[in-house]
Amino acid sequence: MLRTADRAVGASAAGLRRGAAVPAEAAPRAGLFAPHGGVLLWAAVLPPVLFLVLPLLVLLGRTAATGGLLGYLASPVVVAALRLSLLTTGATLLVTLLLGTPVAYLLARYRFPGRAVLDTLLDLPMVLPPAVAGLALLMTLGRRGAFGPALSAFGLEISFTTTAVVLAQLFIAAPFYVRAARGGFETGDRALEEAAAVFGASGWQTFRRITVPLALPTLVGGAVMTWARALGEFGATIMFAGNFLGTTQTMPLAIYAAMERDLGAALVLASILVVISFVVLLSVRALAGPGLLRLPR
């Protein structure tokens, strides 16, 4: 009898590991909010949902009620900020893909001394206050920074230029792609890569035709998140690049400036960022699922 029971328990555990369905009659009927689970659960969920969603809806509604919406969309401030944001975030994304992909592959596939420290340092910009990141960049690459005099000797001025905007966005946003890409490379099917090597494929061919296609949904999701984070960057940009119309004034900085003189323009810019952020999150979930944001082991 004991052996029979052990076999039954083992079979049940194996079935659960394979994702077998649990019969409805076996599922527990009591929960944290029983016996009035539905009402109490919604009562607990509704306040935080309203707190997070209602201000955004009010913002969009206030923007829609603003007179001359098309005029604001065509105003020089909005057009210049939108153009500069698209230009700088595109450059940031390109540099992130070129430099971040090898770093993510290294962290995913190789073990070496100091790997944990390097991984932590690369994640640090994700949790640092952006103003701290901007100040660090200014002290490093500014005119009076650590490398400022050397750059000036070659006629290079980085701080308070469009290049500074790209570097600030890169510093803040690139870690999002590196972490996502690392997760994609870690979960790839090594057996397919080994089979490709057996059939004579080079390392580059295997990476291009096997590794990248397998990780592509996660890579694309990470790239989209990086672009969106760069688009919304504010603190590091204003510290390192300043707030100059047409040169360093991206959309978040234009919102900040417009609040003092033109609320309508600020509302339009803010609503554009809300819509873009919503579309980006939907795209990421469709491409890579919620697992994209999980920390790899």
pLDDT given for residue 293 in this prediction: 45
Two tokens, residue 60 = 């969009």
Residue ranges of the chain with pLDDT lower than 50? 1-17, 19-20, 22, 24-28, 30, 290-297
pLDDT reported for residue 26 = 46
pTM here is 0.79
The pLDDT of residue 31: 55
Separation of alpha carbons 45 and 57, rounded Å: 18
pLDDT of residue 289: 54
DSSP string across 271-282: HHHHHHHHHHHH
pLDDT at 73: 81
The pLDDT of residue 190: 80
Joined tokens for residue 131: 């103003």
Distance CA 269, CA 281 (A): 19
- Amino acid 68: pLDDT: 73
What CA–CA distances, in Å, run from 202 to 206, 210, 238?
A: 6, 11, 46
Q: Which residues, at least 6 apart from 19, have a Cβ–Cβ distance to it below 8 Å? A: none
b or e along 104-125 (b: 16 or more beta carbons within 10 Å of the residue's beta carbon)? bbebbeeeeeeeeeebeebeeb
Write down the pLDDT at residue 249.
95
Tens-place pLDDT, residues 80-95: 999 999 999 999 999 9
Is the CATH code 1.10.3720.10 the one for domain 63-293?
A: yes
User: Hey, where are the domains in the chain?
Assistant: 63-293
Output the CA angle 47-234-158, nearest 5 degrees: 165
